[in-house]
């Protein structure tokens, strides 16, 4: 293992790491999904709830992931292998609970879910905590499969915008075009292929000359395009209606469901709960500051999500459209909005390019999780792992791509859908919602829950903090009251007993607050706890 560590690639410095991690976090989630869930959940109040989730749960969990990765210098599976005890009572208890839940479901003749849970329970018994890492690798694989389909549509739209073909007088016309485009396997699969290829090429090149290099080029471009779009949008006549909708909180529109959506989205948007940040942390040098890096990544991700809202809502309102169009907001409504703006084709091109760049830097982090696992745990060469799994993800994604004519349609997989309905007995959900639901509401929150529990109770906040302290020049130990009072450098304020420090606050969040919040959210999602 020491050899492996000696030859392990590293980021060239903190900035490269921060841009790569921010690149992973900033993606379709920020620019495509965030605005439409804000639109569906009533605007400003939802934004506030989301910010709270980011601060209270997202940031603390992100530090855990970075610490786990940097401490072990391994992929997610390797990280848990290195730190998990041989037998863990907590893991056995979870295994038992899952087995019982499975048996219970079988009793009620839910065969599909019952069998799935029994299998999972047995796996938990056998592999314990290592399974959390494995779940991350599986999540990386499945998320990238559908993510790259949507990213492929974006790529196609960049092309079409450049060719001046995205000019629609009505949302109906835009929809007809979108359905025709996604229904055409040459376009849908072709664009998906090109996107996966781009991810493979970058991951193939490795950490410094692949992921870091491209993140350093693409992230500033992304920021510039975003600024240009915001200025354009805010200077349209009538733009202020959109700003008002976006920034005025109306708490009557918030219910338990929207809080849970905000929590799930916080995980998705920050790339948490599946080991992407463990993997990126594993290439980081001990001398870099984890606390401040986390603040930068969380800050950049949140900034870009908020900016996306400012670019989209004013334009949508100014042209007289509604903000609650759901997943179709950017593919159907925006092209129509651009049609009414001078030089619309140019703005459409910029917008879809922005979306493509965001998706690309996230796509590479998903592929990197799978690649790192095969390199670290199975001894594969990076080149081989990137190509083989890029290929496999392409095939799975191609199935998704031809199965839908649009995000909310199962038309071509009617039979498969019917079988799934029978086995799992769920209500009719759209194809996209199903995959999105699986990752945002299940895999990532559960991953986040177990990562918090593991850091808080198994590895221990003390050991994690030892790791975080490397390179953070005791930032975490600053007395919180002194910090708030602006006296953090005053020696007398930091002398004496440090009880209320950033580090102790983090420990409490990780041990209690985030596990309980995620558990409540999760129990609500699966219907075992009914919140109003
Ligand atoms: N954070 C990315 C986004 O907002 C998606 C993602 C999730 C990437 C999980 C990596 C891991 O689009």
- How far apart are the CA of 32 and the centre of ligand 1, in A? 12
Instruction: Give the residue from 352, 361, 8, 354 showing the smallest Cα distance to 216.
Output: 361
CATH architecture of 2-84+129-458+514-525: Orthogonal Bundle (1.10)
The pLDDT value given to residue 2: 43
- How far apart are the CA of 362 and the centre of ligand 1, in A? 6
User: What are the φ/ψ torsions at residue 127 (nearest 5 degrees)?
Assistant: -105, -15
- Give the residue-averaged pLDDT of 6-33: 92
- 1-5, 6-10, 32-36: the lowest-pLDDT one: 1-5
* Greater pLDDT, 522 or 310: 310
The reply to whether ligand 1 has any atom less than 6 angstroms from the CB of 269 is yes
Using the CB atoms, write b or e for 377-401: b if 16+ within 10 Å: beebebeebbbebbeebbebbbebb
- Distance in angstroms (rounded) separating the CA atoms of residues 227 and 443: 33
* Greater pLDDT, 351 or 428: 351
The pLDDT value given to residue 169: 87
Where residue 43 falls (left for φ over 0; alpha for ψ -120 to 50; beta otherwise) is left
Look over the chain and give the mean of its residue pLDDT values, rounded to a whole number. Answer: 88
490, pLDDT greater than 90: no
User: What are the φ/ψ torsions at residue 209 (nearest 5 degrees)?
Assistant: -90, -5
The pLDDT value given to residue 216: 95
- Give the residue-averaged pLDDT of 440-468: 92
Chain segment 106-158, per-residue pLDDT in tens: 998 788 888 989 999 999 988 999 999 999 999 999 899 889 989 999 999 99
281, pLDDT greater than 90: yes
* Greater pLDDT, 480 or 77: 77
The reply to whether ligand 1 has any atom less than 6 angstroms from the CB of 400 is no
Q: Which range has the top average pLDDT, 179-188, 355-364, 437-446?
A: 355-364
5, pLDDT greater than 70: no
Q: Where do the domains of the chain lie?
A: 2-84+129-458+514-525
Chain segment 195-242, per-residue pLDDT in tens: 999 999 999 999 999 999 999 999 999 999 999 999 999 999 989 999
428, pLDDT greater than 70: no
Q: Which range has the top average pLDDT, 312-326, 364-378, 427-441?
A: 364-378
- If one residue of 23, 28, 29 were mutated to test the ligand 1 pocket, choosing by the most ligand atoms within 8 A of its CB, it would be 29
3-class SS of residue 397:
helix
- If one residue of 199, 365, 439, 448 were mutated to test the ligand 1 pocket, choosing by the most ligand atoms within 8 A of its CB, it would be 365
Percent of the chain with pLDDT over 70: 91
- How far apart are the CA of 497 and the centre of ligand 1, in A? 40
CB under 8 Å to 62, separation ≥6 — which residues? 270, 272, 277, 294, 297, 298
């Amino acid at each position: 293992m020491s050899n492996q560590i000696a030859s392990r690639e590293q980021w060239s410095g903190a900035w490269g790491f921060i841009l790569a991690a921010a690149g992973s976090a900033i993606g379709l989630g920020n620019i495509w999904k965030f605005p439409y869930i804000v639109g569906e959940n009533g605007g400003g109040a939802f934004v506030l709830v989301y910010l709270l989730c980011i601060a209270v749960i997202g940031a603390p969990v992100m530090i855990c992931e970075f610490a786990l990765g940097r401490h072990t210098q391994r992929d997610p599976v390797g990280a848990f292998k290195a730190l998990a005890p041989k037998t863990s009572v907590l893991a056995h208890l979870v295994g038992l609970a899952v087995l019982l839940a499975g048996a219970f479901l079988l009793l009620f003749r839910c065969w599909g879910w019952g069998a799935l849970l029994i299998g999972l329970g047995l796996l938990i018994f056998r592999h314990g905590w290592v399974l959390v890492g494995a779940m991350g690798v599986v999540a990386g694989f499945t998320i990238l499969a559908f993510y790259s389909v949507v990213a492929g549509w974006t790529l196609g739209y960049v092309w079409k915008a450049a060719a001046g073909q995205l000019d629609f007088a009505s949302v109906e016309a835009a929809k007809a075009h979108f359905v025709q485009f996604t229904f055409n396997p040459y376009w849908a699969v072709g664009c998906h292929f090109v996107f996966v290829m781009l991810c493979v090429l970058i991951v193939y090149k490795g950490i410094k000359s692949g992921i870091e290099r491209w993140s350093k080029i693409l992230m500033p471009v992304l920021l510039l395009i975003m600024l240009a779009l915001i200025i354009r949008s805010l200077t349209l006549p009538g733009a202020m209606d959109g700003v008002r909708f976006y920034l005025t909180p109306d708490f009557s529109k918030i219910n338990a469901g929207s809080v849970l959506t905000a929590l799930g989205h916080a995980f998705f948007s920050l790339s948490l709960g599946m080991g992407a940040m463990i993997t990126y942390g594993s290439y980081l040098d001990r001398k870099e500051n984890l606390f401040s890096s986390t603040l930068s990544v969380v800050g950049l991700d949140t900034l870009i999500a908020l900016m996306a809202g400012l670019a989209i809502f004013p334009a949508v309102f100014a042209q007289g459209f509604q903000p609650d169009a759901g997943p179709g907001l950017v593919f159907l409504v925006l092209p129509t909005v651009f049609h009414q703006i001078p030089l619309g084709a140019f703005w459409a091109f910029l917008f879809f390019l922005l979306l493509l760049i965001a998706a690309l830097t996230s796509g590479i982090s998903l592929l990197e999780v799978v690649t790192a696992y095969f390199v670290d745990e199975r001894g594969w060469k990076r080149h081989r792992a990137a190509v083989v799994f890029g290929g496999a993800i392409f095939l799975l994604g191609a199935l998704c791509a031809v199965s839908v004519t649009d995000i909310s349609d199962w038309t071509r997989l009617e039979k498969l859908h019917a079988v799934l309905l029978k086995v799992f007995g769920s209500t009719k959900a759209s194809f996209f919602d199903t995959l999105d639901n699986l990752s945002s509401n299940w895999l990532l929150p559960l991953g986040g829950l177990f990562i918090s529990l593991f850091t808080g109770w198994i590895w221990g906040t003390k050991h994690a903090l030892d790791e975080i302290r490397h390179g953070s020049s005791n930032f975490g130990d600053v007395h919180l009251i002194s910090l708030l009072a602006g006296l953090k450098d005053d020696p007398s304020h930091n002398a004496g007993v440090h009880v209320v420090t950033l580090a102790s606050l983090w420990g409490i969040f990780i041990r209690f607050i985030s596990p309980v919040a995620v558990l409540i959210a999760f129990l609500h999602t699966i219907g075992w706890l009914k919140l109003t």
